[in-house]
Amino acid sequence: MRASSIVFWVILPVLFIACGKDSSTSTDIVSQKTEYIETAEQQLSQIEGLVNQSNFTGERKVVDLPAGSVNGLQAAIEEAGPNGIVNVKSGLHIEDVTVNVNFTVRIIGEEGAVVQSSYPATSERPVVVTPIIKIENGDFVHVKNIQFVAGTESGEGNVGVLVYNSNYAYIKDNDFQGYQMAVLVDDSDFAFIEDNTGKGLFSKGYGIMNGSIGIATLGDNNARVKNNYMTDFGTGYFASGSYGIYHGNTADGGETGFFYCNGAFGVLPNGNPIAASESANNWIGISNLAKNTGIGHIIVDGVNNCKLINNSAENCALYDVEFVGPSLRFGTPEPLPTSFENLFIDDPNTDIEVKDCGIDNVIEGGQLVDTAEDPCF
């Protein structure tokens, strides 16, 4: 529910962003709700099997990375080899350089495993993405149960885990403390990001323009993002690409909670761009909570055919949910295209406020903002 009508926000310039809605014209919109929820839950129940599938039938080599290691994770991964397992032992592990993963391997932390990185956050634009772990051209990689902490003097780190051109990555039960981005997925399909927590740098001056995002999925299809809790990022979650699912996630603090759009966020050290190829489309967002943000859930820049069902917002300064029309407010030289043909369903008695400035979006439930009194930007 909107706390106030502070127009604090003509500040999201830069992002080249986009988002959308469901083209169904059924008169019984509410009856579709159960179908969408059941479909999403079925796909979520299938994804764990997908990320764990393997044609490997041999014995997996297991390598222990002892506590107190310094730049030891790369060697442990190489020793474990394809289809191997690296056990990151409880205690502190320091990594001064990016760990590169380019084959199937499982990196699993014992309880109390901490990996500390030395790459600092940056306010440069475009942001140079220097992650602790970079998964590139390696499918079915698991990263589980590790606390990632920024080891810089300022306590401000760059990126936790980057998944790049790699399918079926499984990022689960990790904690990211003090990073511009916790998890960044680009050009990769069927990433499963589940049960992670993270605290960002928004309170230290890093907003969306500085690449402050909890979990970003760009240029990929069928991302599954479930039961994560991201706090103090410019935006908690950023969605582009097709057929993704947000389910049961929480965004706490920042400019926005959930950003459905199209975006370009930075470059790799070699100059390769990190960017979405299309606006979010055909996403399903179910039971996600945005709180203490400027806008809770924003759908912008051509996003279409997305379904937002039973989501909620608390203490959002501007809007709980906003479907944005053609707009120059994000600092682009030309207006971003309108959101269109999206579907919003919630309880008709809920106090979640929805502002719809797009085209052919269907709003069922919630409290619709009167754009005659509160005009579209």
pLDDT band of 56, cuts 50, 70, 90: confident
Q: Does residue 146 fall inside a structural domain?
A: no
Q: Does residue 86 fall inside a structural domain?
A: no
Q: Mean pLDDT over residues 278-286, rounded?
A: 96
Residue 260 has phi, psi (to 5 degrees) of -95, 120
Q: Mean pLDDT over residues 164-179, rounded?
A: 97
pLDDT over 90 at 348, yes or no: no
Range of the domain at 40: 29-53+170-368
Q: Does residue 332 fall inside a structural domain?
A: yes
What is the rounded CA–CA span in Å between residue 63 and residue 198? 27
Q: Does residue 223 fall inside a structural domain?
A: yes
Which residue from 280, 160, 134 is spatially nearest to 221, judged by alpha carbons? 280
**Percent of the chain at pLDDT exceeding 90:** 75
Q: Does residue 91 fall inside a structural domain?
A: no
Residue 177 has phi, psi (to 5 degrees) of -120, 115
pLDDT band of 31, cuts 50, 70, 90: confident
Determine the pLDDT at residue 13.
36
pLDDT over 90 at 216, yes or no: yes
Residue 208 has phi, psi (to 5 degrees) of -60, -35
Q: Does residue 248 fall inside a structural domain?
A: yes
pLDDT band of 270, cuts 50, 70, 90: confident
Determine the pLDDT at residue 20.
36
Q: Does residue 217 fall inside a structural domain?
A: yes
pLDDT band of 4, cuts 50, 70, 90: very low
pLDDT over 90 at 123, yes or no: no
**Region of poorest pLDDT, from 164-168, 217-221, 251-255, 286-290:** 217-221
What is the rounded CA–CA span in Å between residue 272 and residue 212? 19
pLDDT tens profile 284-319 = 999 999 999 999 999 999 999 999 999 999 999 999
Q: Mean pLDDT over residues 191-217, rounded?
A: 94
pLDDT band of 17, cuts 50, 70, 90: very low
Q: Mean pLDDT over residues 90-98, rounded?
A: 97
pLDDT band of 353, cuts 50, 70, 90: very high
Determine the pLDDT at residue 27.
52
Which residue from 216, 224, 277 is spatially nearest to 246, judged by alpha carbons? 224
65 CB-side CA count, 13 A = 32
Determine the pLDDT at residue 277.
82
Q: Does residue 113 fall inside a structural domain?
A: no
324: three-class secondary structure by DSSP: coil
Contact assessment for residue 41 and residue 33, using Cβ atoms and an 8 Å cutoff: no
Determine the pLDDT at residue 10.
35
**CA-CA-CA-CA torsion for 182, 188, 192, 195, nearest 10 degrees?**
0
Determine the pLDDT at residue 269.
87
End-to-end CA distance of the chain: 20
pLDDT over 60 at 26, yes or no: no
pLDDT band of 154, cuts 50, 70, 90: confident
Length reported for the chain: 377
Determine the pLDDT at residue 246.
98
The tally of domains found in the chain comes to 1
273: three-class secondary structure by DSSP: strand
pLDDT band of 192, cuts 50, 70, 90: very high
Token pair, residue 136, equals 């590139």
Contact assessment for residue 164 and residue 143, using Cβ atoms and an 8 Å cutoff: no
What is the rounded CA–CA span in Å between residue 224 and residue 243? 9
